[in-house]
């Protein structure tokens, strides 16, 4: 019995044939799904034979989803929002207009009349009052005429009037930029169109500003006597919107920046911090920010001095100190001193350094294993040179304390530990000159106390450094001159000469 084979069925609608490397259904090289029909002698279907294959419906592949992207629609313009469907009444519909508005510019001829609708205009309290005054006397069936005089920019009035026809919340797309929003804000405030005023403030609070934009926003809000939205007031740092003073905010931010720099932050953080410090003392900034600079820098300066003292105390056990912390503290101290002097606020740092008796004693007790000598030497040289050149005007007590505290330390480090301290002749000579110049600024009795320290600390050493002999000779000369003047006043000089001649 022959089993006829039916011809292949056409592919169902959901089946796709593809070429060029894509999947093909059915697979290439195979026959389509077939039906096997078993027929009897009469030709009728009598069932399947022993070798018949069960009939399966063709498997349908799922239809591949096609991306039907909608064409890009540009943002709706203000006029489109006002005249679009769903807005009732619609701006520009002359057939239903019941108000004629005349805009008279501040300069130039009046504009063509605008045909508007009272239903939309009543969103403005200004127009609500004008319509209430005149509606009762309006002739039946005739549009009501309203005139606005002294319009600075009539086109801005037209745009604000179009916003009266936007039925829902005014979108940010109604504004072109900050200047455009400010112009509409002025008109909306004049017309008491509160929804528009709120929309302008939402837009201004959210968009980027330039320096000119921020100035214009401040002036506009102040001139209109508007109460800013909380977000806009906070961005403008207005008292009603800012919970903290700008000086307090700067203090916290600068403190965090200085902490980053002194803890080894990359050079980028240091550059940013230096720009902030310089901007705080710019003439355009408030004088209060200069005080923020000084407090923040001195706080870090004291903190790093404390860290150095902590590491010096650990030198009893050489392996207990942290070399990384030592390096960071030394680098931070040098940078902080440079910033204090560049900003001309180093007076207090010199006073703090002159009173560091504990640090001076720790330096002497750890002289042979002290990695801070070069750093402290540089700091002291910078302070002495500033006093010598007049960069810093320090009181007499501060000058005396600085020399009395650190002269024996410099003598000890320079004579006993010359390898790491004052390596070049030029640096050592600058130290001697600076010490001598500062000593000469002191009164005679204060100089006496300093030279006693110098004689006891330096002249007994083989190198006798620092050499203050020039300043000492000048002091001795002043003593002799003072004694001569005293003798002349008392009249004792002739008696002495007579005794000598006899």
- 51 forms beta bridges with none
Assign 135 a pLDDT band (cuts: 50, 70, 90): low
Whether 406 and 360 have beta carbons less than 8 Å apart is answered as: yes
CA geometry: angle 355, 361, 365, nearest 5 deg: 165
- Residue 372 phi/psi, 5-degree rounding, is -95, -5
Burial pattern 348-369, b for ≥16 Cβ within 10 A else e, equals bbbbebbebeebbebbeebeee
- 18 forms beta bridges with none
Q: How many CB atoms lie within 10 A of CB 127?
A: 23
Assign 482 a pLDDT band (cuts: 50, 70, 90): confident
Assign 241 a pLDDT band (cuts: 50, 70, 90): very low
Q: How many CB atoms lie within 10 A of CB 443?
A: 9
Helix (H), strand (E) at residue 312? helix 287-313
- Residue 27: pLDDT over 70: no
Alpha carbons 416 and 419: distance in angstroms, whole number: 9
pLDDT tens digits for 323-333? 778 788 888 99
CA geometry: angle 465, 466, 468, nearest 5 deg: 125
- Residue 478 phi/psi, 5-degree rounding, is -65, -35
Q: Spell out the SS3 assignment of 488-502.
A: HHHCCHHHHHHHHHC
Alpha carbons 314 and 137: distance in angstroms, whole number: 96
Torsion angle, CA of 27/31/32/34, rounded to 10 degrees?
-150
Rg for the chain, CA atoms, rounded: 46
- Residue 5 phi/psi, 5-degree rounding, is -110, 125
Residue found under tokens 């009349």: 113
Helix (H), strand (E) at residue 145? strand 144-151
Lowest mean pLDDT among 44-53, 122-131, 205-214, 273-282: 44-53
What secondary structure letter does DSSP report for 57? P
Whether 205 and 231 have beta carbons less than 8 Å apart is answered as: yes
Burial pattern 212-248, b for ≥16 Cβ within 10 A else e, equals ebeebbeebbeeeebebbeebbebbebeeeeeeeeee
Whether 329 and 264 have beta carbons less than 8 Å apart is answered as: no
Of the candidates 465, 455, 388, 461, which has an alpha carbon nearest to the alpha carbon of residue 428? Answer: 465
pLDDT tens digits for 170-185? 888 888 899 999 999 9
Assign 340 a pLDDT band (cuts: 50, 70, 90): very high
Which ranges in 343-457 belong to alpha helices (H)? 347-354, 357-365, 373-389, 396-416, 425-440, 444-457
Average pLDDT over residues 307-331: 76
pTM of the model: 0.60
Assign 3 a pLDDT band (cuts: 50, 70, 90): very low
Q: How many CB atoms lie within 10 A of CB 30?
A: 7
Residue found under tokens 């009052």: 129
For 221, the token pair is: 């809000």
- Residue 481: pLDDT over 60: yes
At residue 60, the pLDDT reads 53
């Amino acid at each position: 019995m022959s089993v006829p084979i039916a011809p292949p069925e056409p592919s169902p609608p959901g089946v796709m044939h593809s070429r060029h490397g894509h999947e093909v259904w059915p697979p290439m090289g195979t026959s389509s799904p077939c039906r096997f029909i078993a027929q009897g002698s009469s030709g009728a279907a009598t069932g399947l034979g022993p070798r018949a294959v069960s009939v399966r419906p063709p498997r349908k592949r799922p239809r591949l989803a096609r991306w039907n992207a909608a064409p890009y629609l540009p943002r709706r313009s203000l006029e489109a929002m006002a005249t679009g469907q769903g807005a009732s009444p619609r701006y520009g519909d002359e057939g239903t207009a019941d108000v004629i508005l005349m805009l008279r510019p501040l300069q130039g001829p009046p504009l063509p009349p605008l045909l508007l609708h009272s239903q939309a205009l009543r969103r403005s309290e200004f127009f609500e009052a004008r319509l209430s005054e005149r509606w009762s006397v309006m002739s039946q069936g005739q549009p009501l005429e309203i005139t606005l005089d002294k319009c600075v920019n009539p086109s801005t009035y037209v745009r604000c009037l179009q916003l009266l026809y936007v039925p829902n919340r005014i979108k940010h797309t109604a504004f072109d930029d900050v200047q455009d929003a400010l112009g509409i804000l002025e008109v909306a405030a004049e017309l008491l169109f509160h929804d528009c005023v709120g929309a302008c403030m939402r837009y201004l609070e959210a968009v980027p500003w330039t320096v000119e934009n921020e100035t214009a926003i401040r002036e506009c809000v102040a001139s209109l006597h508007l109460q800013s939205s909380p977000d806009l007031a906070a961005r403008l740092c207005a008292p009603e919107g800012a919970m903290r003073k700008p000086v307090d905010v700067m203090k916290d931010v600068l403190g965090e920046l200085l902490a980053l720099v002194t803890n080894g932050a990359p050079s980028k953080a240091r550059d940013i911090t230096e720009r902030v410090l310089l901007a705080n003392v710019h003439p355009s900034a408030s004088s209060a920010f200069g005080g923020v600079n000084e407090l923040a820098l001195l706080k870090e300066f004291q903190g790093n001095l404390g860290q150095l003292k902590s590491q010096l105390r650990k030198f009893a056990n050489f392996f207990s100190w942290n070399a990384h912390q030592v390096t960071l503290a030394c680098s931070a101290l040098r940078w902080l001193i440079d910033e204090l002097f560049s900003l001309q606020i180093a007076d207090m740092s010199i006073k703090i350094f002159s009173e560091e008796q504990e640090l001076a004693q720790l330096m002497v007790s750890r002289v042979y294993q002290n990695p801070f000598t070069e750093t402290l030497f540089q700091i002291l040289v910078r302070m002495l040179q500033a006093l010598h050149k007049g960069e810093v005007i320090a009181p007499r007590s501060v000058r005396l304390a600085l020399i009395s505290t650190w002269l024996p330390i410099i003598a000890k480090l320079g004579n006993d530990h010359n390898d790491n301290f004052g390596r070049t002749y030029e640096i050592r000579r600058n130290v001697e000159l600076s010490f001598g110049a500062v000593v000469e600024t002191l009164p005679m009795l204060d100089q006496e106390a300093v030279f006693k320290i110098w004689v006891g600390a330096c002249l007994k050493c083989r190198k006798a450094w620092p050499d203050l002999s020039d300043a000492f000779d000048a002091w001795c000369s002043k003593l002799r001159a003072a004694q001569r003047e005293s003798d002349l006043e008392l009249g004792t000089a002739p008696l002495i000469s007579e005794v000598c001649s006899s």
